Structure 1
Amino acid sequence: MKLNKYPLLFALLTLNLFLSTASTADELQLPDMGDSTGTLISPAQEKILGESFFRNIRSQLDISLDPDVQHYIQTLGQTLVSNSDNPTQEFYFFVVLSDDINAFAGPGGYIGVNSGLILNSDSESELASVMAHEIAHVTQRHIYRSYEASSRMSLPAAAAMIAAIVVATQAPEVGIGALSAIQAGSIQMQIDFTRDNEQEADRIGIKTLERSGFDPRSMPAFFEKLQYASRYYGEGAPEFLRTHPITSSRISDTRGRAEKYPYRQTPDSQNYRLIKAKLRIDSENTNQDDLVRYFQSKLDQGTAEQRAAIQYGLGLTFIKKQRFAEAEAIFSSLNQRYPKQREYLTALAQVAVNQQDFESAKKRYLQLQQQYPDNAEYQFEYISILLRSRQPKLALQHLRLIDYRYQNYPNYYLLLARAYGDLGENVNLHRYMAEYLYAIGQTDAAIMQIKLAQKDKGLNFYLSSILEDRLSFFTAQILALKQLQE
């Protein structure tokens, strides 16, 4: 599902938690925004807005949950952040499974990158150049700085304007209407300002690229390639071109700045090659037989690492085609040759899961957990296998060991709901299903689950109090949304 199909709903949903942070929100006044050093919202409020933004992104976009894809984009993003002009700021990077060429920055340091953009990059430096650009939008607080012309603004109005600007970066024709509906004024001034932001993000992004060891020339090269390709798109131009307008002067400016740095040849990482192969298979417009022919035609080309990435892609295609023995042979060979490359062991685990060989799958995911203890998704995969092999009590034991940092992940709540459901504990089944649905932006459905839990005859006082508290909280979110729409 594409974000720009439901832009106004997205704008409104983004606010629901933010608006509920203060019962007297209308009375809260922002500091004088005439000074560029002024802060529109506090760090705590920005964090809440960012979490709300991402929760509702989950409800409307297809976010990759693949542990290897998530690890790669987060690692690449954090490498760039550590060399940015604000290396201590928190960021969260994620991949949107969409063939559209796009990337976007939201409040709270949430940055989305479409799989289509990754697949259309010809080098890791090109991908990094777009991410560095989006990081600069966040570190320079471009969303918030757009309102320096306003002296004072209530928090709900500020939140509404921020959400509308976020929508405008994804669907300008509707975003402008959302801005007009929320606050009268010069919309053209806001849009002109964001164009200035684009140039600033380019300049700062190039510095971040160079400091991170990537080729600064990749930014103008990628822009030029997109501009050239746009001639053949017509009205169907890539979303990135519509939300980040690329002109000849902008390309010239970035090239001039990039050429001030010494030339460096930056090789692609093997992780970049493997993730591209995986995302190619998940692309909306790929045919499995065509993929087999594509990968087989390239098996003898390139370096040993490039050939390994092609073999990896072929093996993943064989999983899709249920040719498990051939996939197992490919990944076993790759894992033996490159034991430190996590993607090959992950693929072996996936083969075992697809064959319902749960014992082999558990052993492989346990090995991944031991090698990469900070990757919660491997723990979730292992627990999921425990549930599929009818071991709900053991699954609950492992869920209790999950680090608190990952206990607000949607998968954590979903696995809890499944485990309690398998044990016949319906109150906790509905309770944690409600938390899962809320975490992915489905607040109405979460309320329904709470009400189902409240009807259970075995409900005790402790659980009854928890359910009542969560029902009040969820209801407040819906009320805030309705008040905004009025």
Structure 2
Amino acid sequence: MKFDKLLASLLILSLGSLALQPALAQNNIELPDIGDSTGTLMTPQQERELGEAFYRKLHSQLDISQDPEVNDYIQSIGQKLAASSDTPAQTFHFFVVGEPAINAFAGPGGYIGVNSGLILTSEAESELASVLAHEIAHVTQRHLLQTFQAAGRLSLPTAAAMLAAVLLGAKSGQLGQAALIAAQAASLQYQINFTRDNEAEADRVGMQILSKSDFDPRAMPTFFERMQQSTRFAGRQLPEFLLTHPVTVSRISDTRGRAEQFAYRQYPDSFAYQIVRAKLRVQTAANPRSALDYFKAVSGQGTKLQQDVSAYGLALALIANTRARDAKPILQKLMDAYPDQSHFVNALATAELETKSYPRAIQLYETALQRFPDNRALTLNYVRALLTTRKAQQARKLLQEYARRHPPTPEVYNLMAQAYSQLGNDAESHRYVAESYYASGQNRAAILQLRLAKKTAGDNFYLNSVIEERLKQLLAEEEERRKQ
């Protein structure tokens, strides 16, 4: 299975696709061999491998959030929805893209991304859930694979124009985008008809998922209406979500009619939803000062819970503005008021680290992990505190235990590399840096690090064997990429 070829097609044609990135054109991409007469495109194993390759590719082009608290939240809400789908055994992986644009998309293998801009635009947790449920429906109804097969029926000039858009993007992003627009315009009616059918089905199935997951089905048409209203002031700069998920009056009317079939009741937002939105507002602000100004402006407004969430956002903004000392009393008060909320103790320990109060930070992490065992954010920040205080052996052991329970991320690989570097094991350090690069879609950099690891491995037979085998795998992938 030539995954780079399929990936190129996916990024151009999938129903929930991202806007094309010029970096895609760095590879020599051929038109894919799509489907066969039986309608079979790929095996589940191939689809899973394609999904993993797709996710690695995204890391090299987008700001995929590495924040465990943000990731744990989006995973929790996503998995809750997926469990209520008509294929609960389907594997899903949800993640957040640190982009202000309003967008969400579904990729192969159940990889579903949502931009931080969309999370911040939502005004209720059920609105966010409605978007995720819609994307889950695209996966469970096999719309992505149907799109591959539909692409095989496009005319050769249209397919060639789309390919040109990708290739030209390497030299000129504007030229590549213009070529893509021309290609899309050439088959506009075909694309619209194809999209509308699948979007309607995703709306219907997504609403069923919402209802079964204890979220408000009315949130879907409400969010659509707000997106449509936003176009009145957007001019030609439509939100990406609307470019890939066209919202029409009839579509809003249809979803509104379906929603009214469900009994009305209140669906309160979770505390985690509000906290994560506050954190994302600080992380994605144009600059730290603007985040600070925002939370100062909303301080003291709303319910007691909303005021406390704003206080948390203010504390994070203070830390981002190198005023961690001012943030500590705010966070201490929140931690005392909400002893069952891990976000507050984690932020307080971070403030202690920023002010070089290392013993206090470590004490906070150790106490918190007794109360919140296996909390990913607390564990990884505890590791950072240990590395900061040169306790590399303890950090390495903690990371090894962590990796047995959680899929490693580029960030985890980097922490492991730091631990081995402090321990004086350069070969292992290079090896883990290589894995970080590979997980981030940077194969050539990974190969370079593996070669450095091999040079410094000495006569360690086992380590040499591991490095050599991994190097062979990556070189084989690189050779396949060159052939394409």
TM-score, structure 1 as length reference? 0.83
State the match for 1:5 in structure 2.
21
Mapped to 1, the partners of 2:200 and 2:259 lie a distance apart of 13
Q: Equivalent residue for 1:251?
A: 252
Deviation at 1:188, TM superposition (A): 6.4
- 2:481 is matched with which residue? 481
Matched AA of 2:75? Q
- The amino acid of 1:102's aligned partner reads N
Code of the residue aligned with 1:462 in structure 2: it is Y
Pair 1:7–1:432, CA change in 2 (3 A): closer
Aligned 1:430-441 pairs, distance under 5 A: 430-441=430-441
Measure, in 1, the Cα distance between the counterparts of 2:105 and 2:375: 24
Task: Show the counterpart of 1:78.
Answer: 79
Residue 430 of structure 2 aligns to which amino acid in structure 1?
H
User: What displacement does 1:347 show?
Assistant: 1.0
In 2, distance between residues paired with 1:345 and 1:124? 24
Structure-2 residue corresponding to 1:144: 145
What letter matches 1:363 in structure 2? Q
Q: CA deviation at 1:393?
A: 1.9
Deviation at 1:174, TM superposition (A): 5.6
More displaced stretch, 448-457 vs 110-119: 448-457
Match of 1:364 in 2: 364
Q: Secondary structure at the match of 2:264?
A: coil
**Following the alignment from structure 1 to structure 2, what is the Cα–Cα distance between the partners of residues 12 and 134?**
30
Change over 3 Å in CA distance of 1:201–1:475 after alignment to 2: same
Residue 458 of structure 1: how far off its partner (Å) = 2.3
CA drift of 1:204 comes to 0.9
C-alpha distance after superposition, 1:183-228 (max 9, x if no partner): xx98965663233211111111111112222221111111111111
Distance 1:201 1:457, change over 3 A: closer
Tell me which residue corresponds to 1:158: none
Structure 1's 42 and 375: CA in aligned 2 closer, same or farther, altered over 3 A?
Answer: farther
Describe the shift of the 1:176–1:88 C-alpha distance in structure 2 as closer, same or farther (beyond 3 A). Answer: farther
Conserved? CA contact 1:10–1:56, under 8 Å: no
Is the 8 Å Cα contact of residues 427 and 457 (structure 2) preserved in structure 1? Answer: no
For 1:451-466, list aligned pairs within 5 A.
451-456=451-456, 458-466=458-466
Q: CA offsets per residue over residues 113-158 of structure 1, 9 Å max, x none?
A: 1111111111111111111111111111111123556999xxxxxx
Task: Give yes or no for contact 1:335–1:345 (8 Å, CA) kept in 2.
Answer: yes
Q: Per-residue deviation at 1:281?
A: 1.2
Is the alpha carbon distance of 1:175 and 1:269 closer, same or farther for their aligned partners in structure 2, counting shifts above 3 Å?
farther
Aligned match of 1:155: none
Match of 1:341?
A: 341
Amino acid in structure 1 at the alignment position of 2:123: D
Q: Relative to structure 1, is the Cα distance of residues 291 and 427 closer, same or farther in structure 2, using a 3 angstrom cutoff?
A: closer
What does residue 49 of structure 2 align with?
48
After alignment, is 462-471 or 340-349 more displaced? 462-471
User: Runs of 5+ in structure 2 lacking a partner?
Assistant: 1-17, 154-161, 167-173
Corresponding residue for 1:23?
none
- Partner letter of residue 336 of structure 1? D
In structure 2, what is the Cα distance between the partners aligned to 1:224 and 1:386?
49
When residues 268 and 345 of structure 1 are mapped into structure 2, their CA distance, relative to the original with a 3 A threshold, is same
Q: Distance in 1 between matches of 2:230 and 2:358?
A: 46
Of all paired residues, the percent bearing the same amino acid is 47
| 2:202 aligned residue | 201
Q: Helix, strand or coil for the counterpart of 2:112? A: strand
Within a 5 Å distance, the mapping from 1:48-447 to structure 2 comes to 48-147=49-148, 189=190, 192-286=193-287, 288=289, 290-406=290-406, 408-447=408-447
Residue from 33, 40, 59 that aligns with 2:38: 33
Q: CA deviation at 1:359?
A: 2.1
Q: Kindly state the Cα deviation for residue 73 of structure 1 after the two structures are TM-superposed.
A: 1.0
SS in 1 for 2:417: helix
Shift of 1:443: 0.3
1:299: Cα distance to partner? 3.0
Kept after mapping to 1: 8 A contact 2:288/2:317 = no
| Residue identity matched to 1:264 | R
Structure 1 482/75 Cα, relative in aligned 2: closer, same or farther at 3 Å?
A: same
Q: Tell me the CA shift for residue 360 of structure 1.
A: 2.1
CA gap 1:105/1:375 in 2 versus in 1, 3 angstroms? farther
State the distance in 2 between where 1:434 and 1:268 align.
41
3-state SS in 2 of match to 1:400: helix
Residue identity in the other structure for 1:6: P
Report how far residue 256 of structure 1 moved: 1.1
Alpha-carbon distance, 1:44 to partner: 2.0
Residue 12 of structure 2 is matched in structure 1 by none
Secondary structure at the residue paired with 2:65?
coil
Q: How many residues align?
A: 448
What whole-Å deviation, never above 9, does each CA across 1:240-268 have from its counterpart, x for those lacking one? Answer: 11111111111111111111111122111
Paired residues of 2:346 and 2:377 also in contact (CA < 8 A): no
Deviation at 1:278, TM superposition (A): 1.1
> Secondary structure of 1:62's partner?
coil
CA distance 1:271–1:94, change in 2 (3 Å): same
TM superposition shift of 1:399: 2.4
Distance change >3 Å, CA 84–CA 447, structure 1 → 2: same
The offset of 1:83, in angstroms, is 1.8
Deviation (angstroms), 1:467 = 2.2
User: 2:13 corresponds to which residue?
Assistant: none
